[in-house]
Every structure is written in C-alpha cells, then in structure tokens.
C-alpha cells in the first residue's frame, strides 16, 4: 500500500525480498515498484551483497580478503530512499540525510526496545553489536540511500559482531510495519522541515 508522508511517497512491500545491492540503483522504485519521485520503499528479507555490488570502497578494501559476501543477514528491514530535489544530485547531502535517518532510527529504537543503544557514524549498535547497515550514493538524476535494520540474529559475516531486533523477542508483521512507518514518517518530516526553512529564509 502506497502512502504519502509530506512530499515523500512511501510504500511497504509485502513480498519477502532479497537485498542484493541492485535496489540502490537509480529509478529502482519506479521500475520495480511503480513508485515515482521522492520515495521511501521498505521491505523485509535477507541481505546478501557481493563485492561487485558494494558501494563502500573502504569496506571492500579492508574486508575483501575475509569473505566473498561482505554484507549479509538472514532477515532485515530495508529502507530504499530516493531523492530528486537536488539537481545535480549531491553526495554530501545524501550522506547528511543518511546520518539524519540513522539518528532518527536510533531514537525510535531506544523508545521501543530498552537496551544499551549507541550510534557511530551511520551504524547503530546494541551492547556494542552492530544492528544496522547504511550507504548513500548518487546517480545523474537522484540521491539514493540504503539503510537496513537486522531483524534476525543470524546470517552475518563471521567476522562481524552483530545482532538483530529479535534479541528482544518475537516481532510480528504489524510491529515491523509500524516501526518502518514511524522511522520513515519522522525522516520525511525532518526533510520537509528543511524545505520549509529554505522558503522562509532571507538570503544575503
């Protein structure tokens, strides 16, 4: 079902989808999900990203000798975000927005799941175990973000200390939907607030 949070289209896909890195390519939302324009598309499924599909060159350089699959999880909640409001697309703004999203997600997780939460850059940790992955990139026309929260506590690369939200107990489909919506709505509200600030500000 598609919704609109301020000026950003939102859709949660009911299908169980593997995140393999292809979803971060430009216009994926329109081509595969019939969602056009600024958008947040969420889905649940495993993650398995080969080195050839990875965006973070530092991770590839640092970890390429450790495994063929550097990003993996048995079940995760993925957010695929695409923005067209900056032309040409701006990678720095894309990373600012990723960090905004991570900050929002961390605060919501703290409220919903009591634990020792922390944040470092674009990563979220619980008891010093990694709970999320995130990356930003750009195309000729848009800024793209992939952010994911681990749901299952398994399927991670063997050299990564990670956990998932099921650490806190079973998660129903409705609980995951509500979590995705709350994070997405709060993110869209912050981006909308920035747009409104621009329209009311005198420049020199």
pLDDT at site 201: 95
* 21 phi-psi bin (left φ>0, alpha ψ -120 to 50, beta other): left
Backbone angles phi, psi at 126, to 5 degrees: -130, 120
Superfamily (CATH H level) for 2-199:
Bira Bifunctional Protein; Domain 2 (3.30.930.10)
Residue 172 preceded by cis peptide, ω within 30: no
pLDDT at position 56, please?
77
User: What's the pLDDT tens digit per position in 66-120?
Assistant: 666 779 999 999 999 999 999 999 999 999 999 999 999 999 999 999 989 999 9
Q: What is the pLDDT, as a whole number, of residue 140?
A: 95
pTM of the model: 0.94
CB within 8 A of 134, min separation 6: which ones?
A: 98, 101, 102, 122, 123, 145, 146, 147, 148
Predicted local distance difference test score (pLDDT) of residue 66: 63
Residue 200's contacts (CB-CB under 8 Å, 6 or more residues apart) are none
Please give the pLDDT value at position 63.
63
Nearest one of 36, 33, 37 to 15, comparing CA atoms: 33
Q: Tell me which residue of 15, 7, 3, 29 sits closest to 146, measured CA to CA.
A: 29
Compute CA distances 68 → 54, 60, 194, 202, whole Å: 11, 10, 40, 52
pLDDT lower than 50: segments of the chain: none
In this structure, what is the dihedral angle of CA atoms 169, 170, 172, 173, given to the nearest 10 degrees? 100
pLDDT at 183: 99
């Amino acid at each position: 079902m598609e919704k609109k949070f301020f000026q950003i289209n939102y859709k949660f896909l009911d299908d169980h989808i593997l995140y393999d890195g292809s979803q971060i390519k430009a216009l994926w939302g329109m081509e595969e999900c019939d969602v056009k324009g600024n958008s947040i598309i969420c889905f649940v499924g495993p993650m398995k990203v080969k080195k050839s599909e990875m965006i973070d060159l530092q991770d590839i350089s640092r970890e390429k000798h450790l495994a063929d699959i550097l990003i993996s999880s048995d079940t995760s909640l993925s957010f695929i975000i695409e923005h067209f409001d900056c032309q040409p697309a701006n990678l720095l703004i894309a990373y600012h927005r990723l960090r905004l999203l991570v900050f929002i997600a961390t605060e919501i997780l703290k409220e919903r799941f009591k634990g020792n939460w922390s944040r470092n850059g674009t990563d979220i940790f619980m008891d010093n175990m990694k709970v999320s992955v995130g990356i930003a990139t750009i195309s000729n026309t848009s800024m793209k973000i992939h952010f994911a929260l681990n749901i299952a506590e398994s399927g991670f690369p063997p050299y990564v200390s990670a956990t998932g939200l099921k650490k806190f107990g079973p998660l129903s489909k409705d609980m995951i939907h509500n979590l995705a919506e709350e994070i997405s709505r709060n993110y869209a509200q912050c981006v909308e607030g920035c747009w409104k600030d621009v329209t009311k500000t005198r420049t020199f």
